Amino acid sequence: MARNIVYLFVLISASVACHERAKPVDMNAGSGTARSIYETGHVEEKPMSGYIKLPGQLKPFEEVNIYAKANGFINEVLTDRGSAVRKGQVLVTLDAPELRSQLQSAVSKFVQAQENAAASKEKFRRLREAAKEEGAVAPLDLDIASSRMKADEAIVMSEKSNVESMTNIENYLTIKAPFNGVIVQRNVSAGALVGPGSKSNDQPMLVLQYLDKLRLEVYIPEAYVDKVDLKSPVRFVFNANPGKEYQASISRSANTLTQMRSEAIEIDIQNNDQQLKPGMYAEVKVPLLSESKSLSIPDNAIVRSTERQYVIAIREGKAVFVNIIEGLKANDSTEVFGDLRGGDEILLHATDEIREGTVIR
């Protein structure tokens, strides 16, 4: 009996010892500082690179859609797609018999008005000669003849203007090139009925482009508009010819922003050999002002939603939302524009679950 009691005592002592050894240890015991549950970083301020890369597209220096100015049937098309034409060269002739009839009618009325005016003038002259003898002609008759002569002269001027107007309309039947260029599109053939283009979906008869000089159109994002160096040359490479780099100056800027929040600039390019074609895309290096600086933050600090992009800055120990506009990306960092300064502390791996004013520790 005493032996069993000894065994039981030994078993209980061993169990208590194992329980003491299995007790977890508090690793933070004795530490006076609490660990932060958020990871933070800082905004870096550094000089911007000497240029930004943007896409550009070539456009003709001049382009016009050629429509008929009057209704008529196409008599002959004297040019075709790819044809080089000179200013004033006849491109298309039209036939409109009713216009020619109206011109002939206007000419006939003009001739008749001239005859009437000549007769009125002669009658007035004779009455004035006869009026030299006292009592031969009543003064009222002389005034009536004078008024009639002036009225007939006015009718002559009116009919003359009508003839000139109809002559101009008849000239509309001959379509001429407004400037030197190349026909890049032809949509009509002889016999087709054409008229003035009154609807946005009306196809032009011909499309003429001036290709000896082209415009390279580039859109500058709003964040860079005031940082572009308009006086320095621009370098660019066309996707169709990546081995050749071109250089030219910025010719003009729109000085206004589009609906896409960007400003258009244009670079004029001589193309006498016509090796470059409108529609070609280019990678353009647009120079920036040397004194410009940019703010860079880790990419994982940006919170992106359907409504906006923002970062969470830490100010006085609390979360403050700062709206930003993204710029260029490099490795894991992104250039940003907003109410930030170099050295500002920001939250990394931020999410939209964090509310503004949250205490950050």
pLDDT of residue 127: 81
Same fold, 63-95+173-194 and 97-171: no
Residues 222 and 261: beta-carbon distance below 8 Å: yes
Residues 325 and 336: beta-carbon distance below 8 Å: yes
What top-level class would CATH report for the domain 52-60+213-287? mainly beta
Q: Which residue has the tokens 């905004």?
A: 43
Task: List per-block mean pLDDT (blocks of 10 residues) for the chain, which spans 361 residues.
Answer: 48 47 42 58 76 91 91 90 94 84 81 88 83 77 84 88 79 89 93 74 88 94 84 90 89 88 92 91 86 77 85 88 80 80 86 84 71
pLDDT, tens digit, 9 for 90 and up, residues 111-123: 888 888 888 888 8
pLDDT of residue 65: 93
pLDDT of residue 36: 53
Segments making up each domain of the chain, as ranges: 40-46+292-347, 52-60+213-287, 63-95+173-194, 97-171
d(CA 361, CA 348): 13
Q: Right CATH number for 63-95+173-194 from 3.40.720.10, 2.40.50.100, 3.10.580.10, 3.40.1390.20?
A: 2.40.50.100
- Residues of the chain with pLDDT > 70: what percent? 86
What's domain 97-171's architecture?
Orthogonal Bundle (1.10)
| Predicted TM-score (pTM) of this structure | 0.61
Q: By C-alpha distance, which of 170, 221, 292 is closest to 53?
A: 221
pLDDT of residue 30: 40
The Cα-based distances of 121 to 128, 133, 160, 193, 253 in angstroms read 11, 20, 18, 47, 63
pLDDT of residue 170: 77
What top-level class would CATH report for the domain 40-46+292-347? mainly beta
pLDDT, tens digit, 9 for 90 and up, residues 250-284: 999 998 988 888 999 999 999 998 899 999 999 99
pLDDT of residue 16: 44
| All residues at 6 or more sequence positions from 317 whose CB lies less than 8 Å from its CB, including other chains | 359, 360, 361
